Structure 1
Amino acid sequence: MSVQFQASLFDAAQTTTPALTGLASTRRTPLSAGAWIDIRPNWVSGADDVFAALVDDVPWRAEQRQMWDKVVDVPRLVHTYMPGDPLPHALLDDARDALSDHYADELGEPFVSAGCCYYRDGRDSVAWHGDDLGRGRHQDTMVAIVSFGDPRRLQLRPRGGGTSVSFTMGHGDLLVMGGSCQRTWEHAVPKTAHAGPRISVQFRPRNVF
């Protein structure tokens, strides 16, 4: 699959070997109703190599969904690596293990699956939703998102209405949604007029969708 993506100038100046830069400087933003967001900018250095591997090696598929009286294309490509599936880049194994270790006391279990979404340009998006088809509907849990490629805005809003917040996720950034976030808040990646390709990898515990 061929894409056009401006390689990171920061990575070019430092190293092309992918590496994690640590989680000690992660900053937490409390939301309402026991929800929170953790942010770690530039968590992945050398992220260009990971992005290229994801584009080429993930078995991307297009999905469709029923909307009113017609079937429409889902505006992004997707693939999910289930527990035990080999991941497409060794750094993702390291990332999953590092997240599991860092959040062990709060989460009480490891991250085991990796959902991948490929936003090919600004027309690709994801509508308001919570990852609440499994245990996230009833229990506090976490979803950790690592972003590769062009920056995109992640919006969050309380379920039932309220003031929304947004975070711009850049190349190699980490965002973790925790506490009650999946059942008391919703999140979305809106369409935008100008954006290049971006891939998000969402690490989840068992039975969280």
Structure 2
Amino acid sequence: MNQAFTPEPLLLGGHRLLYQADYLKPEAADWLLAYCKGLPWVQSRIRLYGKWHPIPRLNCWFADPGLRYAYSGASLAGNGWTEPLARVRQALQQHVQLDFNNMLANYYRDGNDSMGWHSDDEPELGADPVIAAVSLGVERPIRFRPKGGGKSVGLAMAHGSLLVMPAGFQAEWQHGLPKRQGSGERVSLTFRYIAPQ
């Protein structure tokens, strides 16, 4: 991991998102992507208009023991970390000077996998969560738009990059990852903090 945190700011509605394209060195990003492909991925389901549908991506969740997290109809319990992911978390916490006790990983197998507009604003994450996302694999643009609709803006997330969405951002903005024809594999590791109960 690079020692100096020298991100490029992205200003959205008074919020300063921090983006660092070279957070991981290429060989470290390659190794982590290969490792993540072997994680225990599942395809969760979401309830829409009274019917359950598989979400268009795979995911898995790692967290400190005893933590619980619910989103999109799924209820998860923390069972700890693998040793490599624990090292990734520790390095990230030192890098950004923030604490994280859980990580939701998403695996986009190809350009048909996507994530719709949403905010990471579940009650467990607190009133003003900070979200840090490490992107691995093919570059895909994450998009942002104000809640309630409006013009969207995009940010191309490079292999090995880091994006930090600051406190207060989730209350006013949504983000999503649209389908992208012909795109390859991408993994997103999103680190958060849940207040222990």
| TM-score exceeds 0.5 | yes
For the aligned pair, the TM-score class normalised by the smaller chain equals: 0.7 to 0.9
CA contact (8 A) 2:121 2:127 kept: no
Q: Please, which of 11, 14, 19 is the counterpart of residue 39 of structure 1?
A: 19
1:99 matched to 2:80? The reply is no
Corresponding position of 1:185: 173
CA contact (8 A) 1:36 1:179 kept: no
Cα distance per residue 1:18-37 (max 9 Å; x no partner): xx1134211222221x5331
Q: Please, which of 46, 50, 56 is the counterpart of residue 75 of structure 1?
A: 56
Aligned AA (2:130): M
1:51 matched to 2:33? The reply is yes
CA distance in 2, matches of 1:156, 1:23: 27
1:28 matched to 2:23? The reply is no
Corresponding position of 1:149: 137
Corresponding position of 2:114: 125
Post-superposition shift, 1:194? 1.4
CA contact (8 A) 1:144 1:175 kept: yes
**TM-score, normalization: structure 2?**
0.83
Corresponding position of 2:161: 173
CA contact (8 A) 2:7 2:18 kept: yes
Cα distance per residue 1:1-54 (max 9 Å; x no partner): xxxxxxxxxxxxxxxxxxx1134211222221x533100002111111111110
**TM-score, normalization: structure 1?**
0.78
CA distance in 1, matches of 2:5, 2:51: 48
- Paired-residue identity, %: 33
Post-superposition shift, 1:140? 2.2
| Unmatched 5+ stretches in structure 1 | 1-19
| Unmatched 5+ stretches in structure 2 | 66-79
CA distance in 2, matches of 1:188, 1:98: 26
CA distance in 2, matches of 1:112, 1:176: 16
CA distance in 1, matches of 2:48, 2:124: 26
- Alignment RMSD, CA only? 2.0
Q: Please, which of 34, 44, 51 is the counterpart of residue 63 of structure 1?
A: 44
Post-superposition shift, 1:160? 1.8
CA contact (8 A) 2:3 2:95 kept: no
Aligned AA (2:49): W
Aligned AA (1:93): A
Corresponding position of 1:194: 182
